[in-house]
Structure 1
Amino acid sequence: MKFIDLLRTAMGNTFRSKARTVLTVIAIFIGAFTLTLTSGIGTGVNNYIDKTVAAFGNQDSLFVQKVSEQSGSGTGQGDGPTEYDPDQANVQTGFGSISGLTDADIAKIEKIDGVDSVDPMYMVTPSYLKAGNGKKYQLSLGSPSQADGLQLDAGKTPARTADEILLPASWVEPLGLGSAQDAVGKKLTVVMRNAADQEKSFPVTIAGVSQASLAGSASNPVPSPDLNKKLYEYQTSGSPREVPNSYFTATANVGDTSKMGAIKSQLADENMSGVTVEDQLGMFRTVINGIVWILNSFAIIALLAAGFGIVNTLLMSVQERTREIGLMKALGMSGGKVFGLFSLEAIFIGFLGSAIGAAVGVAAGSIISAALSNGLLSGLPGLSLFLFDPLKTLIIILAVMFIAFLAGTIPAMRAARQDPINALRYE
């Protein structure tokens, strides 16, 4: 009997007991369906993270912050106060005061081997934003370095030396600016208050409109570097004494990325931390991959249960076809071919369940992804929650078929070892 004859016979024998076969296929279907969906989630989200990282023009940069001594070990609630350091700069944020970088820290970063240049971020706190409709809005500004990592709906990123800002897409309609294209080039007014409690208005031009993203601060307007510095200088003016510069963070531009590790180590020695864009988004990868593996474990449990179903289905088939097996062997069929026949039955059951499960999983995931992209996830343009890789889908099908083959080996071996004379006598 040739292989094609074995395959044809195995496919026909599979449906001798339709109820058992269908129930086993359903169990395999559930596992393959779940594996396909979880694989699609992992691929889709990681693809979006990759695109977000690729969107940055400063992938070879380190974002440097001061490591607060109060966050170190031995300074918990029961350890008492921290000694005052007059040289330490503090920056006020919405979550309280944190340690900021000083001019001396910036100078240390510039001297590190491998650092080409350093762009400090001034922590600017405007009083409010005035729109063309005369209304006033609360305003928090993002970092100029974040502008390179945002995808645009319209316009361009702010020019370094121009008084320009990048406006989030969600701000366009409330400010009465029409569409994203209409907003580009229009004027807004940023109002600052200095240390002497004096207000000053700064006219700014909208250079572009940004989309929402996992990277950067897409919910806040982003100023150009020079505008950010100009606002900071006015914010610190008017004080009876000189106010030392303090920076929330700084961007260290690295020419040779092979020195990243050494630069991070030197920053740590200076009580500073440096992270890349990939470091910042790596957390998302870890969380997503962890969730995918947890979901995959449930799918694997379903496949193991389906494996026992295959064992049960084929063992009963061997018992019901004992005399048939004896006749086949009496007519000259070898034990290897009998083993192959029952193994092919197991593989075919695995193929049915996995192929149908994968196909339904791809279809369901594509429909759900499209619905979410136009609804709940519309604020993250470019994100496809489910993205299916044909190679990964094929691997899932082949893996399930292999599991089915392993599950079918016990019944197949039992059938192959049947003694033809005893089998023919079986009632």
Structure 2
Amino acid sequence: MKTADLFGTALTNTLRSKLRTILTVIAIVIGAFALTLTSGLGAGVNRYVDTMVEGFGAPDELYVSKQADMVTGMPTNSAPAEYDAEEAGAGEMFGMPLLTQKDVDTIEGIEHISEVETTRLVEPDYVQTADGKKWQVAFMGSSFETETASTAAGRMPAEDADEVTVPLAWVETLGGRDPEDVLGETVTLVASDPLGEEGSVEAEVVGVTETLASGSGAGPVPSVKVEEALHEIQTEGLPEEQRDTWFNATVTVQDMEANEAAVKQALADEGYTAQTLEDQLGMIRGVIDAVTWVFNGFGLIALLAASFGIINTLLMSVQERTREIGLMKSLGMTSGRVFGLFSMEAVVIGLMGSLIGVGGGLAVGLVGNRLLVDGPLKDVTGLQLFAVEPLSVLGIVALIVGIAFVAGALPAVRAARKDPITSLRYE
């Protein structure tokens, strides 16, 4: 019997007991569906993260901030360090200690670092619109985002102008229906100095930013001029060394591949945390992959249950076809061919279940992705919740077929070992 004939015979045999085969296939479909859906979700979210940060940073850059335990000028769980007026009271932002000019000088002095660019973040109390209403600012962007943020309308602020962008979600707040409606509006950004005295900066809305994973578009993005003005207000009255602070620094490393480890270690020794863009993305991907594997576990459990179903189905089939096995052997069919026939039946069951399950998972994932992206999540630019990766799909099908083959091996061995004479006498 040729291989093609073997496959055809196996397909016919699996349909002899339709109900039993269907129930076994359903268990495989559930596992294949779960694996396809979760792997597609993981791939989609990872791809979205990659897309959103595309263009942010460069391969030879490190993002440097002060370690949290250095905010008071001494490490935790240690003897007190000598008092340093420049470090004391340098302040925090979003729970992170700020960099001072002394920190910047220290970073610039580290070997293999060729350039240091500092980043300031400001925290205005509120934004006042032309109608006099005051709106709370949950998140304020940074001027460095003007090179990478995406706009739904208008443009990003010019460096030396009193300009600002607003997020897409603010369009209705500013009285517009479409993003273009709010361009040219004037808003007032109000901040307080350390004594609580308010100061303000007026800025023209020149663009509407789309919401990105990095935070761009989640709040107003000021020009450098506006950002500096707000910083001056917030630090008014403080000693000069405390006014001259930054949220973090971006450093350029000479020959990053060769010197990355040495520069990171040197920065760590000085009390700084340094990460590449890949380091930051690695943590995000790690969380996504961990969640994906948890859900994949449920699919594998379903496949494990399905494998016992295959064993049971084929054992019953072997029992019912004992005389048929004896006849095939009497007509010259070898034990190897008998083993191959019953193994092929298991593969056929696995193949049917995997194709239906994978097809269903792809259909639900793609349709669900489209409905969510065009519906409740339409304001999230570039969002992709589900992605099809051909190699992953083929891997799932191959995994299920392999599990089915292994599960079918026991019944197939039992069929191959049957004595033809004894089998022909079986009632």
TM-score over 0.5 (shorter chain): yes
Question: C-alpha displacement at 1:405, in angstroms?
Answer: 0.8
Matched residue of 1:189: which SS? strand
Q: Secondary structure at the match of 1:385?
A: coil
Q: Pick closer, same or farther for the CA change 1:180–1:397 going to 2, 3 Å.
A: same
2-structure distance, mates of 1:199, 1:74: 35
Shift of 1:199: 5.2
3-state SS of 1:190 partner: strand
CA gap of 1:57–1:92, structure 2 versus 1, over 3 A, is closer
1:337 and 1:234, CA in 2 relative to 1: closer, same or farther beyond 3 A?
same
Counterpart for residue 400 of structure 1: 400
Q: Is the 8 A contact 2:61 2:250 kept in 1?
A: yes
Partner of 1:110: 108
Alpha-carbon distance, 1:151 to partner? 2.9
- Is contact 1:55–1:148 with CA below 8 Å preserved after alignment? no
SS in structure 2 of the partner of residue 203 of structure 1:
strand
Equivalent-residue separation in structure 2 for 1:239 and 1:390 (angstroms): 59
Per the TM alignment, residue 144 of structure 1 is displaced from its structure 2 partner at its CA by 2.2
Deviation at 1:197, TM superposition (A): 6.6
Contact 1:24 1:310 in 2 (8 A): yes
Structure 2 unmatched ranges of 5 or more? none
Deviation at 1:105, TM superposition (A): 0.8
Return 165-174 or 6-15, whichever deviates more.
Answer: 165-174
Taking a change above 3 Å as real, the CA distance of residues 400 and 284 of structure 1, as seen in their structure-2 partners, is same
Question: 1:75 touches 1:82 (CA, 8 Å); kept in 2?
Answer: no
Structure 2 residue aligned with 1:10: 10
Q: 2:192·2:199 contact (CA, 8 Å) conserved in 1? A: yes
Q: Counterpart of 2:221? A: 222
Contact 1:66/1:100 (CA < 8 Å) preserved in 2?
A: yes
Tell me the alpha carbon deviations over residues 172-229 of structure 1, each in whole angstroms, 9 at most, x when there is no partner. 2202244223334443233445568765543323342222222135322122234322
1:287 deviates by 1.3
Matches within 5 A, 1:15-54: 15-54=15-54
Which 10-residue stretch deviates more, 407-416 or 343-352? 407-416
1:156 aligns to 2:155 (yes or no) = yes
Task: Give me the identity figure in percent.
Answer: 47
Distance 1:227 1:102 in 2: 21
Q: Secondary structure at the match of 1:90?
A: coil
After the TM superposition, which of the residue ranges 1-10 and 231-240 deviates more from structure 2? 231-240
Instruction: Tell me the TM-score normalized by structure 1.
Output: 0.89
* C-alpha distance in 2 between matches for 1:261 and 1:206: 43
Contact 2:121 2:141 in 1 (8 A): no
- State TM-score, norm by structure 2: 0.89
Determine if contact 1:146/1:216 at 8 Å carries over to the other structure.
no
Alpha-carbon separation, structure 2, partners of 1:50 and 1:411: 47
Report the 3-state secondary structure (helix = DSSP H, G, I; strand = E; otherwise coil) of the residue aligned with 2:377: coil
Q: How big is each residue's C-alpha offset from its partner over 1:380-402, in whole Å with a ceiling of 9 and x where there is no partner?
A: 22222121223321221121111
Aligned positions of 1:239-278 closer than 5 A: 244-254=243-253, 256-258=255-257, 259-278=259-278
CA shift for structure 1 position 74: 7.9
What's the offset of the Cα at 1:328? 0.7
Evaluate the alpha carbon distance shift between residue 52 and residue 102 of structure 1 in structure 2; reply closer, same or farther with a 3 A threshold: same
2:387 match: secondary structure: coil
Change (3 A) 1:123 1:395: closer
Contact map agreement 1:27 1:302 (CA 8 A) in 2? yes
SS in 2 for 1:355: helix
Looking at structure 2, the residues matched to 242 and 110 of structure 1 have their Cα atoms a distance apart, in angstroms, of 18
Q: How does 1:23-422 map to 2 (within 5 A)?
A: 23-56=23-56, 58=58, 60-69=60-69, 75=76, 85-88=84-87, 89-93=89-93, 98-139=96-137, 141-194=140-193, 200-237=199-236, 244-254=243-253, 256-258=255-257, 259-422=259-422
Whole-angstrom CA distance in 1 between matches of 2:388 and 2:178:
34
- 8 Å contact from structure 2 (residues 52, 382) kept in 1: no
Equivalent pair of 2:143/2:227 in contact (CA under 8 Å): yes
In structure 2, distance between residues paired with 1:43 and 1:358: 15
